[in-house]
Amino acid sequence: MASNGGNNNGEFSFNANLGVVGRKGLAKIQTHKSKNGICHDDSGPAVKAQTIDELHSLQKKKSAPTTPIKDAGQGGAAFAAAVAVAQAADDVKQRQQLQSISASLASLTRETGPKVVRGDPARKASETPKAHVGHHDYFTPELSISDSALKFTHVLYNLSQAELYEQAIKYEYGSFITSSGALATLSGAKTGRSPRDKRVVRDETTEDELWWGKGSPNIEMDEHTFLVNRERAVDYLNSLDKVFVNDQFLNWDPEHRIKVRIVSARAYHSLFMHNMCIRPTPEELEDFGTPDFTIYNAGMFPCNRYTHYMTSSTSIDLNLSRREMVILGTQYAGEMKKGLFSVMHYLMPKRQILSLHSGCNMGKDGDVALFFGLSGTGKTTLSTDHNRLLIGDDEHCWSENGVSNIEGGCYAKCIDLSRVKEPDIWNAIKFGTVLENVVFDEHTREVDYTDKSVTENTRAAYPIEYIPNAKIPCVGPHPKNVILLACDAFGVLPPVSKLNLAQTMYHFISGYTALVAGTEDGIKEPQATFSACFGAAFIMLHPTKYAAMLAEKMQKQGATGWLVNTGWSGGSYGVGNRIKLPYTRKIIDAIHSGCLLNATYTTTEVFGLEIPTAIEGVPSEILDPANTWSDKAAHKETLLKLAGLFKKNFEVFANYKIGKDNKLTEGILAAGPNF
């Protein structure tokens, strides 16, 4: 390289491509001084910030006021005045929300609730404005007082999925972002519901209304014990620096919507309920007002085992008169979901609305089908049909307006989940989804859905709109078909039977399926399982009341009942074979299309079920179980055995009187097996 004669020390030279070149042949960095004398890189325009904190403040844009600006006019002064009015209106509404939340958290020993402010206590003082500036914050005075009666409790109100991710990752041990974008969480020592620790206050109102005694899921407690546990939960929540508050809805039918408030200590719980309940619009949230029901989730704190009625450190308590639920000693989020389902099983029948533990889908012509079935019967698989719209997968209401989903999300089992078997669920596990108790690779964060190290009850909770063919809003016309699913491992129930109303009520109340060897340790042969109304753990009234409502609505709307066996044919488990899924799908398609109504039927012995003689795409020989057993004597023996199990299970319902006379009860009993 030629030397530059103007450079006496020979340190720099000039290159046409590089400009000024340093002594090592590297380009010299060119800098310019601004007017204030600060040098900066000229590679791009400077940011509008002088400090890191100021740069961070530019990163987040403040949410617009939720109050619409009306009649602002074109002038700047008019617009500014309108903005001020809208801002003031928002201030008032948000203060009203805080007053409502404070009232919810009020201790029974004090007349007023705690002092609450919106916002994260971990935010820097410079980030906390001294005036209302958007969606989540009010000015927070700096206090060092620890007494919960004097301290401020920060309320994180209806946070977004992204905000809840940040809270979980930062503050909750065991929270991770998986490779699909879902949030993996742990529910602590409890990885499932605790039905023996769920209690309902027995008072003057519920004494006569609810189902108590043998067979009932309702374990009683008194009002005083509930208030002791409520006080314990509220005091715990008020002792925290921050609580999460969700104001949401149940039931997609706006005429029968229920407002629920969930107060919790974990971002995981808040995100779970954000997904599972119906999410309000900003306008709906403005006018939310006082909730119809409130959950106090203090699950990180145990109940006092010396308290009357307590049998462990866990207690899930429902007070239907106070419209409140208290959770102590369990962090399993499913308790909130199913607790609210129990509440709906109480509130909805009071409005002559039937609450149902079922899947629901709708065809292109508006024909709606309900699917009932216990675990392992194929309810999720058969109700999820790409040729039909999904109204919901688990909880529904049937009112004078038609059917509506109770929830705003899905709570799917994840054990052995695969993209091939359940593509919709697989694809729904993405950003925003909560993954409970799954195991993942520590480096790639890829989930191993076959791993049961934490629990077999791994779950995913996601908004229903994550399912591509979900019908939004989740409502539909009156059902045309009511399908009761049973996985009969005894192999004696037909693949499909058409039911009359009395038979529909009988099998709805029975809620039958069977466990098979391998499902649980120690099982050597099929074991019958009965769950009233296909959801005994959640019903509040006597099963016959729900059955009577179902029959009344079916009769009024002309719906048909069907019993579909997805279990065994040609023998019991271990001898026969599982009915092929393609055959079951053909049966369901024939029900949807209506062609099965016009089929020719014969009647089976013992159970008296009407079975079709032919269905397109299904071998005719499997439609009557008696034809598929090579050992006819064994078939008859097994059939009578199952019939006896049905009769024994129904004894607890046999003496319950429905209406002024006992004719309906007698009719239901007559629809059972006859031998």
Query: Which long-range contacts does 81-86 make (Cβ < 8 Å, 24+ apart)?
Result: none
Catalytic residue (choose from 154, 198, 379, 480) = 379
Check: CB of residue 544 under 8 Å from CB of residue 663. no
Out of 135, 338, 345, 478, the active site residue is 338
Between CA 135 and CA 17 the distance in angstroms is: 53
Report which residue type is found at 412: A
Annotation marks residue 394 as catalytic: yes
Please tell me which residue in 136, 193, 199, 337 is annotated as part of the active site.
Answer: 193
- The three-state secondary structure class of 381 is helix
> Choosing from 132, 357, 396, 478, which is the catalytic residue?
357
Spell out the SS3 assignment of 429-461. Answer: CCCCCEEECCEECCCCCCEECCCCCCCCCCEEE
Positive or negative torsion for Cα 348, 349, 353, 357: positive
Given 100, 180, 314, 380, the catalytic residue: 380
The sheet with strand 315-319 has its strands ordered as: 115-118, 152-157, 242-250, 258-264, 293-298, 324-328, 315-319, 198-201, 219-221
Q: Do the bridges between strand 402-405 and strand 475-476 make them parallel or antiparallel, or are there none, so unpaired?
A: antiparallel
DSSP bridge partners of 259: 249
351 is catalytic: no
Count other C-beta atoms under 10 Å from residue 95's C-beta. Answer: 13
Q: How far apart are CA 197 and CA 302, in angstroms?
A: 12
- 32 among known catalytic residues: no
What are the strands of the beta sheet with 402-405, ordered from one edge? 354-357, 395-399, 402-405, 475-476
- 386 included as an active-site residue: no
Task: Write out the DSSP string of 81-93.
Answer: HHHHHHHHHHHHH
Q: Is 338 a catalytic residue?
A: yes
Exactly one of 63, 205, 375, 603 is catalytic; which is it? 375
* Centroid of chain to Cα 602: 42
Q: Does 612 sit behind a cis peptide bond, omega within 30 degrees of 0 on the bond before it?
A: no
Residue closest to 343 by CA, chosen among 101, 530, 541: 541
Could you tell me the maximum CA-CA distance found in the chain, to the nearest angstrom? Answer: 119
Can 459 be counted among the known catalytic residues?
yes
Contact between 565 and 488 under an 8 Å Cβ cutoff? The reply is: yes
The span from the CA of 180 to the CA of 178, in Å, is 5
Task: Identify the sign of the CA torsion 279, 283, 284, 286.
Answer: positive
Name the strand (E) or helix (H) holding 649. Answer: helix 632-654
Residue 539 and residue 519: Cα distance in Å, rounded? 25
235 Cβ contact list (under 8 Å, min separation 6): 107, 148
| Sign of the alpha-carbon dihedral angle for 140, 145, 147, 150 | negative
Q: Which of 459, 498, 507, 553 is catalytic?
A: 459
Choose the catalytic residue: 90, 393, 394, 424: 394
Residue with tokens 């919709």: 424
**Is residue 317 flagged as an active site residue?**
no
355: annotated active-site residue: no
CB 515 within 8 A of CB 404: no
- Residue positions annotated with a catalytic role: 193, 338, 357, 375, 379-380, 394, 459
